Every structure is written in C-alpha cells, then in structure tokens.
Amino acid sequence: MNTREKTLAIVIAVIAFGWAMMSWVIDPALAAFDELGQESEQLEQELSRARAIVDNEQKILRRWAGYRKAGLSRSRDEADAETSRALYAWAEEAGFDPRTGINLTNDKPKVDEDKPFAELSYTMNAQGTFAQVYEMLWSIRQSPFPLRLEKCVIDLRNEENEQMQLTLIVTTLFTPDEETQ
C-alpha cells in the first residue's frame, strides 16, 4: 500500500468514525439535551405557577378571614337579607332608577350534604347606562361577604341614550341548618 492509498484509507476511516460518532453518540446526546431543556422549561413554568399560588396564599387567607369575620357562617335568612340589601343598595349607589324596575329574585338554595356551606342564587334585572352597569359590577367585585358573579348579560336597549338591560346571576354562601337540608 503506497502513501496515497494509506492517506485515503485514513481519511475514509476518520470520516466513517466521525459519522459513527455523530450518529450513535453526538446526535442522541444533543437530542437528550434538547429534551432536558424542554422538560426544564416545563418544570420552571410549574414552579412559577406554584410560587404564584404561594404568593397569593396570604391574600386569600386574609380575604377568607374577612369573609368569616363578615359572617360567612350565617344562616340562610341572614345571608338572604344581607345579600338582598347589598344588591339593592349597590344598584341605587350605581344610579339605577328603582322606578324603572330593579327586579331581584332568589332561587331555592343548593345544598350538598358533603359540604359545610350551601349556595343561594339571585337573579337581578335592571336598566341603566354603561357607567351604572360598571359601578354595579365593581360593587359586586368589592363585596365584603362571599359573592360570586355566575352570569352577566348586558343588552343595549336604546343606542340614542345608551340604555342597557343588565341581567346578573350571583351566588352567596351560608351555613345550612336542618330546615334548609
């Protein structure tokens, strides 16, 4: 074998060795690193969500303590009276005209024997402007007792004077007694 053939054999051997290393070692290692990178990103996202929950824990606990202090363990009658008074007061504060019909009805309570609290739902209908609707929704959002906005429907009744029909379904919690169950 002359030097030219030896050189050619060495070059072919180096290329074959390089291809084998690339195929069997380097490519799988790079794929594993990519997979680890993606897994690391997912874990970092989960960690950030968990940290957000932990950061919000104090805020949630303060709000829960406020609810308990405001009478979360109240009876159905107390919850009904307090919620009805609050919804009517907030509607008047928002500027809804009681003469145009602030209609408030409540449904039969939803009681689950496995849960310590029951839900009482209210449906409210009123007519007003965008500013009044906004004020009403803001008041519900700032409620000192537990009140959840289940559904909100806003219909534009008259474009000339911007009158809107507001339909809300809200729920509050109370402690059920033997009569409620």
The residue type found at 31 is A
Per-residue model confidence (pLDDT) at position 135: 92
- Interaxial angle between packed helices 130-141 and 76-94, expressed in degrees from 0 to 180 and rounded to the nearest 10: 150
Tens digits of per-residue pLDDT, 96-152? Answer: 876 666 777 777 777 777 777 788 889 988 888 888 889 999 999 988 888 889 999
**What is the percentage of the chain residues whose pLDDT exceeds 70?**
88
Residue 169 to residues 48, 66, 77, 92, 152: CA-CA distances in angstroms? 34, 23, 19, 18, 7
Long-range contacts of 98-104 (CB under 8 A, 24+ apart): 100/126, 100/127, 100/128, 101/125, 101/126, 101/127, 102/126
175 token code pair: 């402690």
Claim: this prediction has a pTM higher than 0.75: no
The residue ranking higher by pLDDT, 177 or 21, is 21
